[in-house]
């Protein structure tokens, strides 16, 4: 289900996801109240929800959804990255928090991760969460230490990933192919036991690999 007070945004999200055959959009709503009404008729596995909406905002709706349908997974999809909003949505039970600037591939990945009972936060959100006031919100089992051995090249690539560079950009910078970069990225994720770029960013932040 997609919940946003702008129909154009809903249409854009639907268009972005239509190429993925394993995602079916069962409903859309323009505010939290309408979302709850539609969920009473047909429950979704994942709800993409904006934070700032009229009638009933994303935080209020998330609290109600978790109370009524605890098995539903919620991803906040919004323009706002304020720490107070991130905090509130996590406390309300959101399993993911993405900015609307996210690409369709990452959005698809986030939906898959959250549907699989994992967490997913976009890079900007992870950087905010990694600050001291957010450490208690991170599960201790997901905390990663620097004891995991990475090669010199893997460490170099990890730092560039944390800076937001794409495989192509990293390859150009290091004079290697983007395929080689992708292989290194895969190995890094296996060694760190993370499943997305957010996990790599969290490791880099917690181990002082980024400014």
Counting other chains too, the contacts that 50-55 makes at CB distance below 8 Å and 24 or more residues apart are: 50/3, 50/4, 50/5, 50/9, 50/76, 50/77, 50/78, 51/76, 51/78, 51/80, 51/85, 51/89, 52/5, 52/78, 52/79, 52/80, 53/3, 53/4, 53/5, 54/5, 55/31
> Quick one: average pLDDT of 78-90?
85
Quick check: 149 pLDDT over 80? no
Confidence label for 38 from pLDDT (cuts 50, 70 and 90): very high
| Structure letter (DSSP) for residue 119 | -
Q: Measured between alpha carbons, how far is 198 from 17 in angstroms, rounded to an integer?
A: 21
pLDDT in tens, 97-113: 998 888 888 899 999 99
CA distances from 198 to 96, 103, 209 (A): 11, 14, 14
CA distance 117 to 73: 8
Q: What are phi and psi of 49, to 5 degrees?
A: -135, 135
The CB density around residue 179, as the number of other CB atoms within 10 Å, is: 10
Token reading at 14: 């639907």
Residue 128's pLDDT is what? 64
Please say if the pLDDT value at position 152 is more than 90: no
| DSSP H or E segment with residue 121 | strand 120-121
Look at the pTM and tell me if it is higher than 0.75: no
More confident residue, 35 or 105: 35
Q: Which helix (H) or strand (E) holds 88?
A: helix 83-92
């Amino acid at each position: 289900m997609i919940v946003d007070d702008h129909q154009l945004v809903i249409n854009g999200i639907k268009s972005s996801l239509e190429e993925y055959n394993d995602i079916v959009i069962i409903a859309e709503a323009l505010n939290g109240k309408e979302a709850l009404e539609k969920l009473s008729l047909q429950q979704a596995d994942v709800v993409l929800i904006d934070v700032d909406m009229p009638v009933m905002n994303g935080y209020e709706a998330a609290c109600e959804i978790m109370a009524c349908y605890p098995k539903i997974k919620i991803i906040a999809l919004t323009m706002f990255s304020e720490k107070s909003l991130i905090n509130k949505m996590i406390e309300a039970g959101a399993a993911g928090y993405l900015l609307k600037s996210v690409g369709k591939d990452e959005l698809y990945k986030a939906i898959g991760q959250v549907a699989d009972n994992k967490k997913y936060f976009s890079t900007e959100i992870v950087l905010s969460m990694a600050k001291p006031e957010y450490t208690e919100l991170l599960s201790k089992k997901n905390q990663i230490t620097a004891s995991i051995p990475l090669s010199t090249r893997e460490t170099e690539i990890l730092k560039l990933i944390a800076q937001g560079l794409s495989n192509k950009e990293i390859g150009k910078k290091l004079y290697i192919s983007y395929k080689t970069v992708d292989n290194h990225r895969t190995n890094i994720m296996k060694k760190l036991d993370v499943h997305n770029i957010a996990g790599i960013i969290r490791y880099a932040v917690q181990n002082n690999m980024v400014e």
